[in-house]
Structure 1
Amino acid sequence: MSPAVRPWRRMRREAAAIRDAVRAAPRRTVVTESVLTGLVLLCALAPFPLVPPAHPVTASLLGVWAALLVPARRMYPALTVLCCVPVAAGDNAWAMVVVPCVVWSAVRRITPARRAWGVVGASGAGAALVSIAAQSLIGQLPKMPYLAAGAGVAALFILLPALSGLMLGRRRPLTGLLRERNAYLEHARFLTEEAARMEERARIAAEMHDLLGHRIGLISVHAGALQLAAERQAPPLASQAELLRTTAGTAMDELRGILGVLRHHSGEETAERGSREDLSALVADSRSAGADAELHWNATAPADADARTRQAVHRVTREGLANALKHASGAPVRVTFHDEGDTVVVAVVNEAPPVPCSPGDGSRSGLVGLQERISLLGGTLDAGPRPEGGFVLSARIPARPDVPAVYATSSEPVTGGAGSRPPLSTEVLTWPRLLGGGCAAMLVLLPTVGGTIILLIMAVLH
């Protein structure tokens, strides 16, 4: 392969790489870089009619070159810093203003810091040498004030912006590490709270199983014996004894469901809750206990509501029927279910009892619990006496609540692996340290800003 072909092929590979990078970049980045390049080109060439340069062709080429440095800083940061030399040593003051910005942005992308300082040093020395060479070519030896001015320009437009960029570039990974440390601590706190919550729920479940399970089991056994004795000695009471036995069995099943929820075995006893068959069974149990209860199901399709919504419908119906049996014995009770698509409505309405009942000693804790459950699902609960007599308990519940479960545990990993390793020392990762680094980087740029303003004023006056 001839030596002349190798550079050509390398240029083609670089052009293909640039084209692929532009296609892969986000559209917002491409638009932003295009706008910045156009603005730099406009600022470098637009003042020429008002302030004609001494060498228009050279000044125009420097303006175009400065505009090309803007998008190049992303893919070739080290080469971009070196290519700032002709602009910093040229006679286009408007293009020279772009050099600090390009150096500041490009140096942050050069790693490690030793390589960045080498590139910056070579660029500063190159700017000084190019200035000396330009004076020598026109037959003038550079004098000491000119050399001092060239060194000052290299320091203001290359060294100080590079220092600021390196300080901010070092600050960026520290900020990322600080976020990772906070995520680690937050994840550790969440796991600690979840472990404590699980331990407390397991303790409550064990206490309920040992106390209530034993008592309900005894009630079921004695109810079975009472049923057998009633069938032999008092047949009219056999049905009541059987109801007592089946109710005790149902209570034991519900207790197992509650224990499963406490032990995070959710979904075991909620699949059939809130269905038409479930509400019909509740109404049938109340009718067996002597209530005049009936169910009105107003739904054209099977209920496809969330399991928590179906559980809430079951609880509202059961609480309403139990209150009607307790406080309005003998009064007709009507259970109504409406499916409105994104909302379900369940109501338990009882008429006034034929014989006025004395106020019970209820604590209304059942209604308070229902209110809390339905509020967590984003629904509303209404309970109160009717104007014509009786009592109404109704609830409107979203069919598919947007709120997460109260004790839902997230199984998603922490973004970026945060929380998977111990945090760094708090002496390294502190907000004052990061804030101080950012302020110092901005203070370093103040001489550069002042020098830029003076350069532009001199260009206009000249």
Structure 2
Amino acid sequence: MSQVLEDSGRRWAALRTAPRRTVVAELLLCALVASFGLIPLLLVRPDRPVLAVLEALWATLLVAARRYRPVVAVLGVSPLLVGHNIWTLAAVALVVLSATRRIAPTRRAWQVVGAACAAVAPLTVVRVAPRWEDLPVELAGNAVSVVLLLLLPALAGTLLGRRRLLVNLLRERNSYLEQARSLSVSTARLEERNRIAGEMHDLLGHRLSLISVHAGALELAAGRQAPPLAGQAELLRTTAGTAMEELREILGVLRHTEPADGSVSDRGTRADITALVTESRRTGGAIELDWSVADSAVLGDRTRQAIHRVVREGLTNVLKHASGASTRVEVRSAGGGTEVSVTNGVPRTDGHSQGGTRSGLAGLQERISLLGGAFEAGAVPGGGFRVAAWLPPHTPTPAQEHTRAYVPVPAGTAAGQKGQPGQGGSRSPLSDEILTWPRVLGAGCAAVLVVLPTVGYLVFLLLAASLG
């Protein structure tokens, strides 16, 4: 009893969660079957109108139950084969064809169909009990109806059911291969990133360590012998230390490890941008900062990191190509997001800039576009240069940027009974001898050919009823 209640609850939940399109299609189909079984009774009055109306309503219920109670639906078509309403025979073929493709395994479907066929004989005897002389004719006619309206649609339904399994197996195999390919690509990418991280650590790490050590010695010597140069030596040492920390951060990103605590959380804040501007002023530049973003504004880590990168790239370009030029750094709220810009004027003296490769600007543009923002860089009227970016209020996470979630197509009801194939991707792909599209298409074509005699028989019966 508890199993029945549990099964009923599960089916009711599936019915409630069915797509709206499916529900609308089922309601329209039930209304069409009811109309097809009732409206002709107004034109051609049957011998027993009450039974004919009940049969039409019963056919409508079977059509509605064929998706969630296929066994009951197949067994319930037997009374319609011996009934008084000939217009419901079209619903018989529809119910059998649709229900048998949902019954698994195929042997069970044929057992249900056999039980429905066996029930036709006693029902025929009950119907013609007062007229025994008509029994042979009725049995022969119902036998033909059983073959054409039960057996042939059941054969087509089982073929379509097997086709459904093949399609699900194809989807499962495609899911497995796609996940295997994705894992191979991820593994190869991780190995390459680790190799690059190792090369960067071995080459750059050693050089930056030497620069930091010599800058420290130079700072001590300058403090004793040339105090005016001590500040520049200290700047060189702190810059080398900062470069080393940033190198470690980049290596951590390449190796897919989490950055150290506080290495990213302070990036892009007002204090961080102020420190960048102050550090650049120590080189002799006239740099102003205009920070108008409210302190209560919530900026994501990636937004703040992008602000840091834009400001740092802009100030670096000023120091390289327009040393001494007046510069203005602005960070403000605009358009629901955050706008950051670095604008410099014409340098006071002719510099010795040899130009650049614009690789830093290209990298910035790619970073901002990944965050869904806008980036521009170019000359301003009257001389000078401007680097600006607009960042949206919410930026995607790194996982959303660099990965694509792959959701394999779940297997069908029958195929999903063993291990839920197509969801875990842990099963090996099945043999190509089984999973072939010609077999899938052949099952569908065979099912269509099987039901052609059924369609012809129904057309003949309905035309005879209309003319009679």
- TM-score normalised by structure 2 residue count: 0.87
Question: Secondary structure, in 3 states, of the residue corresponding to 2:42?
Answer: coil
| SS of corresponding position for 1:220 | helix
3-state SS, counterpart of residue 436 of structure 1 = helix
Report deviation, 1:391. Answer: 1.4
Structure 2 residue 392 is the aligned partner of structure 1 residue 398: yes
- Superposition deviation, residue 418 in structure 1: 3.1
- Tell me which of the two structures has the higher relative contact order, counting C-alpha pairs closer than 8 angstroms and 6 or more residues apart: 2
Amino acid at match of 1:151: A
> Does the CA-based 8 Å contact 2:340-2:388 persist in structure 1?
yes
Q: Which residue of 1 aligns with 2:463?
A: 457
Matching residue of 1:6: none
Residues in 2 aligned to 1:330 and 1:14: alpha-carbon distance in whole angstroms = 84
Which position in structure 2 is the counterpart of 1:25? 15
CA distance in 1, matches of 2:208, 2:9: 76
Query: Can you list the C-alpha shifts for 1:322-368, whole angstroms capped at 9, x where unaligned?
Result: 11112112211111101237411111111111113344232111111
* Matching residue of 1:164: 156
1:212 is displaced (CA, Å) by 0.3
- 1:272 CA displacement: 1.0
Contact 2:320 2:353 in 1 (8 A): no
Quick one: distance in 2 between partners of 1:130 and 1:191? 61
Secondary structure of the 1:111 match is coil
Return the match for 2:454 from 448, 453, 456. 448
CA distance in 1, matches of 2:348, 2:69: 92
Partners of 2:30 and 2:366 lie apart in 1 by 60
Q: Is the 8 A contact 1:348 1:394 kept in 2?
A: yes
Q: 1:270 to 1:20 in 2, by over 3 A?
A: closer
| C-alpha distance in structure 2 between counterparts of 1:68 and 1:411, whole Å | 42
Does residue 1:153 correspond to 2:145, yes or no? yes
5+ residue gaps in structure 2? 411-419
Q: Which ranges of structure 1 fall in alignment gaps of 5 or more residues?
A: 1-9
> How far does residue 171 in structure 1 lie from its aligned partner after superposition?
2.3
The answer to whether the aligner puts 1:55 opposite 2:48 as a matched pair is yes
Q: Which residue of 2 aligns with 1:421?
A: 427
Determine the C-alpha separation between the residues in 1 that align with 2:232 and 2:313.
21
Q: Could you tell me how far apart the structure 2 residues matched to 1:49 and 1:326 are?
A: 94
Whether the 8 Å CA contact 1:274–1:310 is kept in 2: the answer is yes
For residue 190 of structure 1, give the secondary structure of its aligned residue in structure 2.
Answer: helix
Which shows bigger deviation, 106-115 or 176-185?
Answer: 106-115
Confirm whether residue 220 of structure 1 aligns to residue 226 of structure 2. Answer: no
C-alpha distance after superposition, 1:224-259 (max 9, x if no partner): 111111112212211111111111111111111111
User: Aligned to 2:80, what secondary structure does the other structure show?
Assistant: helix
Measured against aligned partners, the alpha-carbon deviations of 1:70-92 in whole angstroms (never above 9, x if no partner) come to 33435543343233222112232
2:247 corresponds to: 255
Q: In the alignment, which of 289, 294, 304 is matched to residue 300 of structure 1? A: 294
Structure-1 separation of matches of 2:229 and 2:9: 91
1:434 and 2:437 aligned? no
Q: In the alignment, which residue of structure 1 is the partner of 2:416?
A: none
Q: Say which SS state the counterpart of residue 431 (structure 2) adopts.
A: coil
Distance 2:345 2:23 in 1: 72
Bigger shift: 57-66 or 95-104?
Answer: 57-66
Amino acid of the structure 2 residue aligned with 1:428: I
Change (3 A) 1:73 1:356: same
Q: CA, structure 1 residues 412+99, in 2 after alignment: closer, same or farther (shift >3 Å)?
A: closer
One-letter identity of the residue aligned with 2:369: S
Aligned-partner SS, 1:382? strand
**Aligned partners of 2:449 and 2:336: how far apart in 1?**
58
The residue correspondences of 1:173-212 to structure 2 (distance < 5 A) are 173-212=165-204
* Code of the aligned partner of 2:15: A
Percent identity between matched residues is 52
Kindly state the Cα deviation for residue 412 of structure 1 after the two structures are TM-superposed: 9.1
- Map 1:64-103 onto structure 2 (within 5 A): 64-74=57-67, 76-103=69-96
- Go from structure 1 to structure 2 and tell me whether the alpha carbon gap of 1:231 and 1:403 turns closer, same or farther (over 3 Å shift): closer
Equivalence map 1:249-328=2 (5 Å)? 249-268=241-260, 269-328=263-322
Q: Aligned equivalents of 1:35 and 1:20: distance in 2?
A: 24
Residue 356 to residue 142, structure 1, CA distance change in 2 (3 Å): same
Question: How far off its partner does 1:458 sit?
Answer: 0.4
DSSP-derived class of the 1:329 partner: coil
CA change 1:16–1:48 in 2 (3 A) is farther
Q: Distance in 2 between matches of 1:16 and 1:388?
A: 79
Distance verdict in 2 for CA 1:371–1:441, change over 3 Å: same
| 1:136 shift after superposition | 6.0
Paired residues for 1:340-359 under 5 Å: 340=334, 342-359=336-353
Whole-angstrom CA distance in 1 between matches of 2:405 and 2:75: 49
Q: Does 1:41 align with 2:41?
A: no
1:116 CA drift (Å)? 1.9
